[in-house]
Amino acid sequence: MIIPAIDLIDGQTVRLYQGSYDKTTQYQQTPFELRDLYAEAGAGVLHLVDLSGAKDAAKRQLPLLKQLMQQSPLPIQVGGGVRTEQDVIDLLEAGASRVVIGSLAIREPALVQQWLRTYGGDKIVLALDVAINDKGEKTLPSHGWIEASNITLEMVLDGFIAAGARHVLCTDISRDGTLQGPNVELYQELAAKYPQILWQASGGVGNLEHIRSLRGSGVAGVILGRALLEGKFTITEAIQCWQNG
C-alpha cells in the first residue's frame, strides 16, 4: 500500500530534513488539496503529522486535523506529539482511523501497551525511528530524534506485540528526507523476524525504483513524503509501481 504523508506546521504543508525543525521546507499545496489529490488517485491511507503539536503540546492543530479527517474521502492515520490517553481519544473522536505514537512508546512502553489493549491494535500505529549505530544495532532515539538512547528496536517490540500491536511505522533516520533510497535490508530483516506486524517503510524513497525495491521486502506499506511534494513521480505512478512493479 502506498501511504502519502503530509507534515503540518501552523496549518502549512512542510517537510523536515532528518527530523530537524531547523531544516524545514514549506510547500505551496494546502493539506486539503493534497488529501483530495491523493484520495482521487487511489491511495489507501493518508499519513498526517502534526509537527506543531509534536514540538509544543499547546500548539496542537486539532481543529485543522479534525477538519481534514472528518471530511476525508480516505482513511487517515495521524500522529505528532501524542502524549496522553486524552490525545488518543481526541484524535479518534476527531475521525482518525489510527493514531500514530512515537517517542512516548520508547519512554513509557507500559503506558502505550495499555492503550493497545484498550483501543486495539488496529487503532494504533507505533512509529519507531531507528538510528543504526556502528555495531549495527537498531537504536531508538527517544524524543523526536533529539535524544540518543541505548534502547534497541528488538528490546521494545516483544512487549508491544504481546499487547496486540499490529502496525509499526519504521524510519531509518539516516535516510529520512534524503531521497537516496530506503534501507531495504532493514525491512527485509524486520518483516522476516516479525511477520505478525504490518510494517510501514519510511525514509529515503526518491524514485519509482526505490518503491519497486520494497515490493518484495515484506512491508505492508510505503510512506511517501518529499518525493511526491517535489514531483519526483506522481501518486498515480507510485500506486501503479507498487501494484504492478
1 burial class (0-12, 13-18, 19+ CB within 10 angstroms)?
Answer: middle
Residues in the chain: 245
Cα 106 to Cα 142: distance, rounded to the nearest angstrom? 6
Residues 6+ apart with CB under 8 A from 61: 8, 10, 11, 50, 52, 53
Cα 43 to Cα 154: distance, rounded to the nearest angstrom? 30
Residues 6+ apart with CB under 8 A from 193: none
Residue tagged active-site, from 7, 50, 87, 172 = 7
Cα 157 to Cα 159: distance, rounded to the nearest angstrom? 6
Q: What is the DSSP secondary-structure string of 64-83?
A: HHHHHHHT-SS-EEEESS--
Residue 1 DSSP symbol: -
Cα 142 to Cα 151: distance, rounded to the nearest angstrom? 9
Residue tagged active-site, from 50, 87, 129, 172 = 129
Active site residue 87: no
Active site residue 36: no
CA 96 to chain centre: 14
**Residues forming the active site:** 7, 129
